[in-house]
Amino acid sequence: MAGLLYYANEYRKHATQMRHTNAAMPHTAPTSTDGECSKAELLDRINHLGGAELIAVNVRNQLAMDPQTHCHARGTLFLLTEGLVIVETAQGRQLSPSQTIGWMPPGVEHAVQSYGPTAGFGAFLTPQFCGDLPAEPTSYPVNPLVALVLQKALSWPHDTPLDLTRMRLLLVLLDELRQSPARPLQLPWPQDARLLSIARALLGNIASPRTLEQWARWADISARSLSRKFVLETGMSFAQWRQWARLTQALEWLATGRAVKDVALSLGYDSVSAFIKTFRQALGTTPSAYFQTQQRKQAALSPRVAADQEA
């Protein structure tokens, strides 16, 4: 209820502002956009808080990939229709495969890496509309209404405040997200320096057969302390964390087209069947079907979106 009241107040303030603005300015046709822009233009738009409260753009490989640590003045929503994006923050690595909606709060430093052919669209929100969204990066399952609003927003002008019709759609989008369950595919970093060194070494040698006791000796920490601290700092046991580390690496490799057998053996699994079983238990489908399933979901969604846009 608090979220709805907040957005209702924002809507009323916006409506009042728009009435005054429209009365003071001569009528001109808004500048439209198809959501296409260069990377430099995109950065210039999203790091300023003037203009539209929601700026939406098409995402291609060159825009989706920025491995240098950076942050934005606006909050970021991104919906991929193809590929995989991994966002790294000080807290961990956030996976956003196709047909999930990724969320990055304003002002949070992060680096972005895309894997495989990547396409979709991103939306950048001014901070006053981010207050009811999570304070940490997360992901949501996509739904047709959210996808429709984001795609419609691609044609909205960037340099003027949203009109009342578009503002209503923005409020619908925010309310849909507020009611959606967050489903983070996240690999959290431990904060203890010794545990962090183990975590990064594991990612650097993902197939390492070292046991917990061997890693503890390597980092000069007792096995008991290592086990206890991993749960306290990441919410996962050491074994669970290593399994998620392997699965995130598996998704990166699968997104670039590597064969399932090659991925399984490169991750250190004794057999392909053991890898497939672990993958299915964690992600609900087989490695070979994972990205095909995402593509089928997009194919089912696209006709509805296209039909509404034509209408």
Residue 297: the pLDDT is: 52
Residue 49: the pLDDT is: 79
Instruction: Please report, as a single letter, which amino acid is at residue 64.
Output: A
Angstrom distance (rounded) from CA 85 to CA 95? 6
Residue 232: the pLDDT is: 96
Sort residue 269 into left (φ over 0), alpha (ψ -120 to 50) or beta: beta
Domains and CATH numbers, the chain: 2-185 (2.60.120.10), 188-291 (1.10.10.60)
Residue 14 Cα distances to 8, 11, 59, 169, angstroms:
10, 5, 28, 13
Residue 25: the pLDDT is: 34
| Sign of the alpha-carbon torsion through 73, 124, 92, 65 | negative
| Sign of the alpha-carbon torsion through 106, 112, 114, 118 | positive
Angstrom distance (rounded) from CA 137 to CA 59? 19
Residue 307: the pLDDT is: 45
- Please name the residues in contact with 236: beta carbons below 8 A apart, sequence gap of 6 or more: 188, 230, 244
Angstrom distance (rounded) from CA 143 to CA 183? 13
Residue 203: the pLDDT is: 94
Q: What are phi and psi of 191, to 5 degrees?
A: -95, -30
Residue 26: the pLDDT is: 33
Per-residue pLDDT of the chain (311 residues; tens, 9 = 90+): 444 455 555 555 554 554 443 333 333 223 334 555 566 666 677 777 788 999 998 877 554 456 778 888 999 998 988 888 888 898 898 888 877 899 999 999 999 888 878 888 889 999 999 998 998 888 888 888 999 999 999 999 998 999 999 999 999 999 999 998 887 668 999 999 999 999 999 999 999 999 999 999 999 999 999 999 999 999 999 999 999 999 999 999 998 889 999 999 999 999 999 999 999 998 888 998 887 755 555 555 554 444 444 44
Q: Three-state secondary structure along the chain?
A: CHHHHHHHHHHHHHHHHHHHHHHHCCCCCCCCCCCCCCHHHHHHHHCCCCCCCEEEEEECHHHHCEEEEECCCCEEEEEEEEEEEEEECCCEEEEEECCEEEEECCCCCEEEEEEEEEEEEEEEECHHHCCCCCCCCEEEECCHHHHHHHHHHCCCCCCCCCCHHHHHHHHHHHHHHHHCCCCCEEEECCCCHHHHHHHHHHHHCCCCCCCHHHHHHHHCCCHHHHHHHHHHHHCCCHHHHHHHHHHHHHHHHHHCCCCHHHHHHHCCCCCHHHHHHHHHHHHCCCHHHHHHHHHHHHHHHHHHHHHHHHC
Residue 164: beta bridge partners? none
| Sign of the alpha-carbon torsion through 172, 173, 174, 178 | positive
- The closest of 129, 126, 143 to 174, measured between CA atoms, is 129
Which pTM value belongs to this model? 0.74
Residue 10: the pLDDT is: 54
